Amino acid sequence: MTRPNRRPWMATSPGVEWEFDRITLSRDLSRSAVTRLLTDRAEHGGWELDRVRISADGTRRVILRRKIIRMVRTA
């Protein structure tokens, strides 16, 4: 597994900002191991699955996303 690239502040719709996390997983990981890893990141980090691409050599490129919540200062 390689460490992700993060692309913050990419707006997909007006008023919503997302942070993206890109992960590359080896072909040696089983499907259940990948499921456990992604479930753990979703439960503890607030990430949701955006896209999964499986390349010809069997590696999985996963893109996760989560909303960026901006705090509004109150007077």
What would the two tokens of residue 22 be?
Answer: 């890109």
Residue 19: which domain range?
Answer: 2-67
Q: Is the pTM of this model over 0.75?
A: no
Residue 14 lies in a domain: yes
More confident residue, 2 or 65: 65
As a whole number, mean pLDDT of residues 30-38 equals 96
Which of 49, 70, 63 has the alpha carbon at shortest distance from 21? 63
More confident residue, 10 or 28: 28
Q: What is the dihedral of CA 3, 55, 49, 70, to 10 degrees?
A: 50
CATH of the domain at 16: 3.30.200
pLDDT confidence of residue 46: 92
Residue 58 lies in a domain: yes
Residue 9 lies in a domain: yes
36 confidence band (pLDDT: 50, 70, 90): very high
